[in-house]
Amino acid sequence: MTATKYVREQPTEAEAPTSAPKPQEQRAAVSRRGLLGAAGAGLAGLAAGAAGGFALGRDQTTSSPQASDTPTYPFYGAHQAGILTPVQDRLHFAAFDLITDSGEELVQLLKDWTAAAARMTQGLGAGELGPTSGPYAAPPDDTGEAIGLPAAGLTITFGFGPNLFRKEGKDRFRVASRQPDALQRLPHFPADKLNPQRSDGDLCVQACADDPQVAVHAVRNLARIAFGRAAIRWSQLGFGRTSSTSTSQATPRNLMGFKDGTMNLKAEEPAAVEEHVWVPADADSKGQWLAGGSYLVARRINMTIETWDRQPLSKQERVIGRTKAEGAPLSGGAEFSQPDSSLQGSDGEPLVATDAHVRMVHPSNNGGAKMLRRGYNFVDGSDGLGRTDAGLFFLAYVRDPRTHYIPIQTKLGQGDGLSEYVQHTGSALFAIPPGIAQGQYVGQALFA
């Protein structure tokens, strides 16, 4: 995999690699810090450093061109990275519950997370000292499994759930008056089979990277840093992105074997992104801190894979409304052609069935609403009865879930041909604060 495949020709403001240190600079910085860390750690630290051959930082061994060829995205910018960024191959998503009632501790946690995320996304360790150079008598400030790995396109995106603002009627952190009207627990949709242990959360972290170990390392270190203040409520690993967010990316396939992401919003359509993804400044007087941010809908959608695999190809294509091979609408054309709902076959039936997925979700049938999908395939083993616990971890960024998600999902739950083969088992909604400048912390506008 080459860097040119991923690096956009015209990076967006949030992603332009202006502030990102070059790989050589990163390595030098790590080495210097590592040496200082060892010097400050006393004899025991020096002994450990010597024994480990100065295993100083994450990028220590990334001298091979292949390793340093992977992209590095800036952490700071007008919008958080990980939304418009070309979708990476791997995901580790985690929802956290706060276990403190102290506003100061919450703010400190966000500051600590900001510092660690800013480092890790640049290919550095989570802490200043590194995995093996801190005091010998203390736990390291980085867990170490990413030593030698490059940034691998890591982005870390943070969000706030409705319960952060008000939980069981309590205004725990004195921000209830700033809860946007749109930030409410998602309603129970028809056919939902939600597991509460895979739903909701006060905070979320979406870590995406082209190396699964890098994504897992990021979430693990943020969870470690949160100790005593927030704990993981649920998490989800994902592989094989199920959408493309850039025209430079080929359309991938979901576990039903169909191309997914063809009609997704793309970074190269700034006007449409502005209209459908970013929260406008005048959206809500209580939620002004969210201007330039977004809402993230997360749904764990299980597929009844074994049943699906026994369906004839004709039925599979009818359910989706597109061909399996090319992803073209059944009404004709090629992958990127728009479906034509008016065309009928010789049997008098519409070529794209009225309950076909792509017909039901098409913007023309949903008041023009579009979303930026950024989901991943998942396989979490099997259920003990020989059924694969697999599906689509659906992630979508929208400017307002009340217009851009809830009505569409309500309709899908009632009449989507696909609903015979899927079951929604997890659900959460998060407000995604806008991006920040260096020196600020994630979500600062909410607490200012």
In the list 8, 178, 357, 374, the residue contacting ligand HEM (rule: CB under 6 A) is: 357
DSSP assignment letter at 267: T
Residue 85 C-beta: closest distance to ligand HEM, Å: 18
Options 204, 207, 225, 301; binder of ligand HEM; rule CB under 6 A? 301
In angstroms, give the least distance from the CB of 439 to ligand HEM.
38
**200, two tokens:** 């909701």
CB nearer ligand HEM, residue 197 or residue 410: 410
Question: Is 111 or 253 the residue whose CB approaches ligand HEM more closely?
Answer: 253
Reference 79, options 337, 307, 305, 278; nearest CA is 278
Per CB under 6 A, 361 contacts ligand HEM: yes
Closer to ligand HEM by Cβ: residue 55 or 412: 412
Task: Determine contact, residues 402/77, Cβ cutoff 8 Å.
Answer: no
Say which amino acid occupies 373: R
85 touches ligand HEM (CB under 6 A) = no
State the nearest-atom distance from the C-beta of 216 to ligand HEM, in Å: 24
What's the Cα-to-Cα distance from 83 to each of 171, 295, 434, rounded to whole Å?
29, 11, 11
Question: With respect to ligand HEM, which residue has the nearer C-beta, 249 or 409?
Answer: 409
Tell me whether residue 249 or residue 254 sits nearer to ligand HEM (CB atom).
254
Which residues 6+ apart lie within 8 Å of 448 measured at CB? Answer: 289
CB closer to ligand HEM out of 145 and 192: 192
Q: Are 377 and 289 in contact, with CB atoms under 8 Å apart?
A: no
The dihedral formed by the CA atoms of 138, 439, 211 and 376, expressed in degrees to the nearest 10 = 120
How near is the Cβ of 327 to ligand HEM at its closest, in Å? Answer: 6
95 touches ligand HEM (CB under 6 A): no
Q: How far is the CB of 429 from ligand HEM (least distance, A)?
A: 13
In angstroms, how far is CA 26 from the centroid of its own chain?
A: 25
Distance CA 372, CA 53 (A): 46
What's the Cα-to-Cα distance from 276 to each of 80, 100, 266, 400, rounded to whole Å?
A: 16, 35, 11, 8
List Cβ neighbours of 39 (8 Å cut-off, separation of 6 or more). 46
Burial (0-12, 13-18, 19+ Cβ within 10 Å), 306: exposed
H/E stretch holding 199 reads none
* Residue numbers 317-356 binding ligand HEM by CB under 6 A: 320, 322
Residues 104-123 that bind ligand HEM (CB under 6 A): none
Residue type at 82 in one-letter notation:
G
Q: Which of 175, 209, 422, 428 binds ligand HEM (CB under 6 A)?
A: 422
User: What's the closest the beta carbon of residue 244 comes to ligand HEM, in angstroms?
Assistant: 9
The one-letter amino acid code at 294 reads S
Q: Which is nearer to ligand HEM, 229 or 266 (CB)?
A: 266
Q: Which residue is nearest to ligand HEM (CB)?
A: 263
* Residue 226 is a binding residue for ligand HEM (CB under 6 A): no
Q: In angstroms, give the least distance from the CB of 364 to ligand HEM.
A: 9
* Token pair recorded at residue 397: 């960024």
Q: Is 412 in the site for ligand HEM (CB under 6 A)?
A: yes
Q: Could you report how far apart the first and last alpha carbons of the chain are, in Å? A: 43
Restricted to residues 243-272, the positions that interact with ligand HEM (CB under 6 A) are 254, 256, 258-264
H or E element, residue 306: helix 305-309
Which amino acid is residue 292, in one-letter code? G
Among residue numbers 20 through 79, which ones bind ligand HEM (CB under 6 A)? none
Instruction: Write the interaction track for ligand HEM spanning residues 390-409; mark x where CB under 6 A is met and - where it is not.
Output: -xx-x----------x--xx
- The DSSP bridge pattern shows strands 203-209 and 90-98 to be antiparallel
Q: Which residues contact ligand HEM by CB under 6 A?
A: 254, 256, 258-264, 299, 301, 303, 320, 322, 357-358, 361-363, 371, 391-392, 394, 405, 408-409, 412, 418, 422
